[in-house]
Structure 1
Amino acid sequence: MQFALLEWCLQAPLATPEMDSADAWLACWQQLPFADASAMQLAVQGGFQADRAAWAFASGYQAALRAQFPSAEGDGLYAFCLTEQGVRSSRQLHSRWWHTETGVALQGSKGWAPLFEQCRAFYVACRSADGAAPDEQEPGGFRILRVATTAKGVTFTPRAPGSFMPELPTARLQLDGVVLCADALLPGDGWHAYANPFSVQEELYVSAALLAYLLREGRSNEWPVSYLQQLLAALALFAELAGSDGKATISRVVLSGATAWARQLFNEANALWAVAPDDARAQRWLRDQPIQTLWAGSSAQRGAKAWQAVCAQVSS
């Protein structure tokens, strides 16, 4: 499967339509083989067919959601909503959930919801209004709830376009007394089962999608074969990591190194794009460079911690 996907990247048609809006990208995204494709295949094929970094990011992000949340399926779009304005720690979240006679309810707001107009549902991180429920081991009852976009009490405040990836629409998500069925409350602790591992999934799948995007652009622009081979080799490593236990210490060591390698390749692309400064694709890539550092700090921290753990096992 891994080599078949890599061969596809070298043989797939290079032409891709202009995607000047989220709806234009979504029309292409929804043509992917969702019934049979793995999350990595969706990330790679989605990134490959993207015409800019914003949609490669979106493809990788959607693939990461499918890898983390089994109920994120089909060709719909989803978002994971954790952050809140002015809140730096998950232990300080203001959004709250509580049990009702018929299910659960929640109240609060989230600072970042991408592709909000196209999303089918949101995975929202909240803390219990009453502290830990009787059947929970984690203080504070940190849980994830699946909230349909159409649920009563769900509203959005669009955010201004960012300085990079401005094509990607984002909003603040408001949740005003939203009432849900009991099964909207995902099983397990919200931090250990979902929020913490999702950051790893996002790093993995978005990196792969961006590499695939550059591979198509590199083939189209006849960039040096040696560079394209490195893109392909890095993709192979990410595909291998997707099939490993993401919680394993050695997996986190390798992922940190793989992400650092990917960032080097992204930086090398800057010089390759610079030969055509008037090309809109080049201008977009150079504008969107901050995407390369979105998870650099957390990746380095996870990698360093995992490295120390592995070395400690060897020395003992």
Structure 2
Amino acid sequence: MDEILRFLLTTPPQPGALQSLEDWWRQHLGLASRFPVTVDLALAGGFLADRLGFAFASGYHAALRSLFTGMPPDHRAALCATEAGGAHPSAIQTRLSGGDGGGPLRLSGSKGFVTLGTAAETLFVVATEGQDEQGRNRLRVVMIDAHREGVHFTSLPPMPFVPEVPHAELELREVAVSPDEVLPGDGYTRYLKPFRTVEDCHVHAAFLGWVLQVARRSGWPERVQDEALALAVAIRGLALAEPTSPAVHVALGGVLELCQRFVRGLEEWWPQVDAQTRELWERDKALLGVAGKARARRREVARQRLAGGSGSEG
């Protein structure tokens, strides 16, 4: 932990202007070799970002590296889960078929919202193999090259916040898959479900790294800087814990509430920040409220499970 703390406290808080996603990626890759612990990479990437959008990109990509340890280290990646009915296991219609009697595996279907979209080089696609005896989807995750034949992206309009991060729809038309590209384990319990927690930890770590840089650069009081650092340390600890643990979910919910209070308490300090950074913050801060209802539900279910119940996230 000492190295990332020293980085956050001693690195000059003067981020270079990142003009494009390619600029962000070069910077992110440079940090990846220095910080092998993914949450430290998220913190460092956030600190060096010149805006919240690129901090988010570092947090998102670091989360993928944390969960998918076999992904190519120099490829931008994307998790492809959300479909017309959402990302709940029952909503997944993209199908992994074939393989019977040694025949080829094929991946077919569509995804409605892929973060990083057309910029991704490696895709982690959540697909169904069919239903089990109870009629529930049997999900797998397949890792494929984004440029493979049958993979088609359609860019979506920029979001009203963090528009620097592209999103796209994805169509898969009988994409050939080799058996070693089908990741081991259940696609929901091993990958999709834990990613919600892993992403929350890494994205908020990147956000706190970015806020600390802004605070140091803008001369905010030391107590404000110390609070951002303390929250970053708390998030870091949870990012290294078991992401499926109900106790971790309860603790994470508490830390994220503290983050929200911290953000509300920053209002008096934003006038000290340069105009461009302040304007981008006003545009992008809605990002922090995305998936708030899902987080609250996850925390509620975790409390029920710790109390001996069998809560379900639905």
CA distance in 2, matches of 1:260, 1:114: 25
Shift in Å, 1:312: 4.7
Structure 1 residues 205-220: aligned runs within 5 Å: 205-220=202-217
Partner of 1:255: 252
Structure 1 residues 153-302: aligned runs within 5 Å: 153-275=150-272, 279-302=275-298
CA distance in 1, matches of 2:186, 2:205: 28
Structure 1 residues 1-316: aligned runs within 5 Å: 2-34=1-33, 37-87=36-86, 89-100=88-99, 101-128=102-129, 130-132=130-132, 139-275=136-272, 279-312=275-308
Give 2:214's aligned amino acid: E
Q: State percent identity of aligned pairs.
A: 29
8 Å contact from structure 2 (residues 76, 122) kept in 1: yes
Give 1:205's aligned amino acid: H
8 Å contact from structure 1 (residues 104, 181) kept in 2: yes
Tell me the TM-score normalised to structure 2 length.
Answer: 0.91
8 Å contact from structure 2 (residues 35, 41) kept in 1: no
Shift in Å, 1:31: 1.1
CA distance in 1, matches of 2:120, 2:202: 19
Q: Where in structure 1 are there 5+ consecutive unaligned residues? A: none
Shift in Å, 1:308: 3.3
Greater shift in the superposed pair: 254-263 or 206-215: 254-263
Greater shift in the superposed pair: 48-57 or 69-78: 69-78
Partner of 2:312: none
8 Å contact from structure 2 (residues 81, 87) kept in 1: no
Shift in Å, 1:252: 1.4
CA distance in 2, matches of 1:17, 1:275: 20
8 Å contact from structure 1 (residues 203, 295) kept in 2: no
8 Å contact from structure 1 (residues 103, 181) kept in 2: yes
8 Å contact from structure 1 (residues 102, 182) kept in 2: no
In the superposition, relative to structure 1, how do residues 85 and 270 fare at CA in structure 2: closer, same or farther (>3 Å)? farther
Query: Residue by residue, what CA displacement relative to the aligned partner does 1:65-84 show, whole Å, maximum 9, x if unpaired?
Result: 11111122413211111101
Instruction: Count how many residue pairs are aligned between Structure 1 and Structure 2.
Output: 307
Query: Residue by residue, what CA displacement relative to the aligned partner does 1:70-118 show, whole Å, maximum 9, x if unpaired?
Result: 1224132111111013446321222111123454211111112222333
CA distance in 2, matches of 1:247, 1:121: 25
8 Å contact from structure 2 (residues 82, 114) kept in 1: no
In the superposition, relative to structure 1, how do residues 74 and 137 fare at CA in structure 2: closer, same or farther (>3 Å)? farther
Tell me the TM-score normalised to structure 1 length.
Answer: 0.90
In the superposition, relative to structure 1, how do residues 36 and 88 fare at CA in structure 2: closer, same or farther (>3 Å)? closer
Give 1:56's aligned amino acid: A
SS in 1 for 2:184: coil
RMSD over equivalenced CA pairs, Å: 2.1
Q: Where in structure 2 are there 5+ consecutive unaligned residues? A: 310-314
SS in 1 for 2:269: helix
Greater shift in the superposed pair: 71-80 or 205-214: 71-80
CA distance in 1, matches of 2:241, 2:134: 28
Shift in Å, 1:242: 2.0
CA distance in 1, matches of 2:103, 2:62: 33
